[in-house]
Structure formats: structure tokens, C-alpha cells
Amino acid sequence: MRWSHFIILQCLLVLIAVGIAYIHKDRVHLTKKPPESLAQWYKPDNKRQVWLHNMFKLRREMQAVEFYATNRNAELLKKWADSFGQHYLKMAEMVPEWRSKLDIETMSDLQAAVSNNNFQDVPRLLKNIGGNCQSCHTDYRAIVATMYRAPDFSSIEITPSTSYKEHMKELIKQVNQIKIVSEDGMKELSLSSLSNLQEGINDLGKTCSVCHQQSSKQYPDDKMIKTIANLEESLNTGTVKDQGRALGTLAVQACAHCHGTHRFAYDVSNIFANKPDWLKLIQH
Ligand code: HEC
Ligand code: HEC
Ligand code: HEC
């Protein structure tokens, strides 16, 4: 194939892709993904969240530079500006694809102002660098936190034969079973469902230590244990209204709280972790 044909073909493909995306623009959200080289600075490739810790240093150093420039303390200003410059440039070493996103010129101006004791120039230069920090954050901060720091439940299992998801389905089945049969007056069945639910909750509680330090997260905790006792009592002797209220409280304490943090973050991270499904995109 001749080069010109090849190039025309490439252009056509790009046009088709842009066209498809444009037609579906109301239903498709385009998000910039960070370069893959960032992964080496996060778990599981790295033991620590190196990128994030470099960020914390940058924020602290910026504050120190501003503080010592205002106080006209040349020596300490120099010390903090040095490390600020180092950690700023470290971003480009860590993720070379992001070198062009840095404002290296303004950083050199800042270093020069510090060397020459031009204290009065420092706030303006810092403000410009701050705008540069912000522009990268607008594009990437949220997606990076979601992709690399959301708890990952994909490899957690309850037993070798029960996946996390299967266990969740079992838990909700018990919750709804209690609701259905208590409303319909089948006391024995509602109590046995509660005892199944309680067992399921205990089994789930054994998996918290995969990520949390042993015994730092108690599940079920004291509040849940009390609610379970309340629910049992009302299933035995209470009104349908009491039963509904106790079950609702348990569902919030035992399920919704965790879903609001762990499941939510995990679900969102999966959206970005999965490769785009073009077939699905076109079908929309
Ligand atoms: C090239 C992109 C980029 C630039 C430039 C950049 N950052 Fe960041 N920053 C990020 C990303 C990505 C995150 C999200 C990291 C995470 O959540 O693990 C982040 C997060 C942070 C956080 C943590 C946010 C929080 O409150 O939890 C701080 C603080 C921070 N950056 C400070 C700075 C400062 C100060 C500068 C400028 C001197 C800067 N960053 C420049 C990409 C950048
Ligand atoms: C896949 C890993 C993972 C599992 C499994 C997990 N968590 Fe978490 N959890 C996290 C992360 C990450 C955070 C946020 C930061 C932190 O506290 O370390 C968090 C935060 C929390 C918080 C809020 C912050 C705090 O420290 O109070 C609670 C409460 C919590 N987890 C409870 C639980 C309970 C209860 C279980 C088991 C039923 C559990 N987690 C299982 C990863 C996990
Ligand atoms: C450790 C936090 C945690 C607790 C506590 C928890 N869940 Fe979940 N739940 C999750 C996560 C994470 C998922 C997503 C699992 C996945 O998609 O693989 C999930 C998914 C689910 C699902 C959807 C399953 C599916 O078919 O995709 C249901 C239903 C569910 N949970 C019910 C419950 C009920 C009922 C309780 C309380 C008795 C509960 N969960 C307690 C974290 C938790």
C-alpha cells in the first residue's frame, strides 16, 4: 500500500471514531485517563502511594516558601524553595508524559527570585505555579484517586467457593425474606432467616481484615448487635411496624453505610479500570 493511501485510511478511521463519539455525545462521557507510567507509583506496583506523598510535600513546601518570603527569612526560604523545586521536577521524572504539563519556566523564575532575595516577587510566582497545579488537578485529580486508591474488592472471597458478590446476593435475599415473611405473619421462618442473615454478617466481618488491621474494624459492631437483638425481639413479639423499623435500621447500619463508601468507590473505579467496550458504546 502506498503511504498516501495509508495516511488517508488512518484519517478516515479517526473521522469515523470522532463521528461516533460526537453522535453519542449526550450519552457518553469522555474523561482523560492518566498515563500508565503513573501506576508504578501506586499499589499494587508500589508499596506506598509515592505520587500522592510527593503532592503533600509540594503543598507544604509552597506554604513554607510563602511564609518565609513574607517574613524575609532568606536562609529558610532558600531551604524550602530548594526542596519545592526538587519535588516539583520529580513529577516529570515519575511520569515523563506529564513533563509538558509543568510550568518549569515559572519554577526557574521562582528559584532565581529566591537566590536574589527578591522576596516581593515570590507571592506572584507562587500564584502562577498554583494555577499550574490546579490545571492538572482539574483534569486528573479525581480520576487518579478513583483508579489507584479506591479499595479493590475483586479478589476478596468469603470462602473458596463463595465469591464476594454471591455472598452479597445471599445477604440481600435474607433481608428481603425477613421483610416478606414477617409481613405475612410467618414467625418461625422470619426468625430462621434472621439467624441466616446474622451468620452471613459474621462471615462478611471476617473479611474486613484483608484491608484493615485486625480488630480495628468491628463488624458487626455493638450498635448492629443491639439492632439485631431488637429485631429478634420484635419478630417474636412486636408489631409489623416495629419489625419494619428494626430491619430498616439494621440495613442502614450493616449494609448502606458500607455501600456508601466502599461499594460506591469500587463501582466507580471499575468504570475506569475496564477497557472501553466499543460495541456497547455504538449500541447506545
Ligand atoms: C501533572 C499533574 C499534576 C500537577 C502539575 C500537580 N498535581 Fe497535585 N495531584 C495530581 C494528581 C493526579 C493528584 C491525585 C493523587 C491521588 O489522589 O492519589 C494530585 C493530588 C494532589 C494533592 C492531594 C489532594 C488532596 O487534598 O487530597 C495535593 C495536596 C496536591 N496534588 C498538591 C499539588 C501542588 C501544590 C502542585 C503544584 C505545585 C501540584 N499538586 C501539581 C497531579 C498533579
Ligand atoms: C478491599 C479493602 C477493604 C475491605 C475488604 C474493607 N475496607 Fe473498609 N476501608 C478501606 C479503605 C481503603 C478505607 C479508607 C481509608 C482507611 O481507613 O484506610 C476504608 C475505610 C473504612 C471506614 C471509614 C474510615 C474509618 O477508618 O473509620 C470504615 C468504617 C470501614 N472501612 C469499615 C470496614 C468494614 C466494617 C469492613 C468489613 C465488613 C471493611 N471496611 C472492609 C478498604 C477496605
Ligand atoms: C465491606 C462493605 C460492605 C458491606 C458491610 C456490605 N456490602 Fe454489599 N457490597 C459491597 C461491595 C464492595 C459490593 C460490590 C461487589 C461487586 O460488585 O463485586 C457489594 C454489592 C452488593 C450487592 C449487589 C450484588 C450484585 O448482584 O452485584 C448487594 C445486593 C449487596 N451488596 C447487599 C448487601 C447487604 C444486604 C448488606 C448488609 C447485610 C451488605 N451488602 C453489606 C460491600 C459491602
Q: Tell me the pLDDT band of 1, cut-offs 50, 70 and 90.
A: low
Site to probe by mutation for ligand 1, drawn from 49, 51, 141 as the one with most ligand atoms within 8 Å of Cβ, is 141
Cα-based torsion angle of the residue sequence 153, 157, 162, 168 in order, rounded to the nearest 10 degrees: -40
Report, as an integer, the average pLDDT of 61-85: 98
Q: Which ligand ends up closest to the CA of 101?
A: 1
Pocket of ligand 1 (CB under 6 A): 49, 51-52, 55-56, 58-59, 62, 88, 91, 98, 101-102, 129, 132-133, 136-137, 140-141, 144-145, 148-149
pLDDT of residue 226: 98
| Tens-place pLDDT, residues 26-39 | 777 778 899 999 99
pLDDT bracket for residue 281 (50, 70, 90): low
pLDDT value at residue 274: 66
Q: How many CA atoms lie within 13 A of 157 on its CB side?
A: 6
Burial classification of residue 131, based on how many CB atoms lie within 10 Å of its CB (0-12 exposed, 13-18 middle, 19 or more buried) = exposed
Residue 278: the pLDDT is: 64
Distance CA 99, CA 103 (A): 9
Collect all residues with Cβ–Cβ distance below 8 Å to 56 and sequence separation of at least 6: none
The set of cell numbers assigned to 60 is 507544604
pLDDT tens digits along 147-187: 999 999 999 999 999 999 999 999 999 999 999 999 999 99
- 212 CA distance to ligand 2 centroid (A)? 6
**Number of neighbours of residue 24 by Cβ within 10 angstroms:** 13
Q: So what's the pLDDT on residue 282?
A: 64
For ligand 2, atom 25, which residue shows the shortest CA distance?
Answer: 217
Any atom of ligand 2 within 6 Å of the Cβ of 219: yes
**Cα(161) to centroid of ligand 2, in Å?**
24
The whole-number pLDDT of residue 277 equals 63
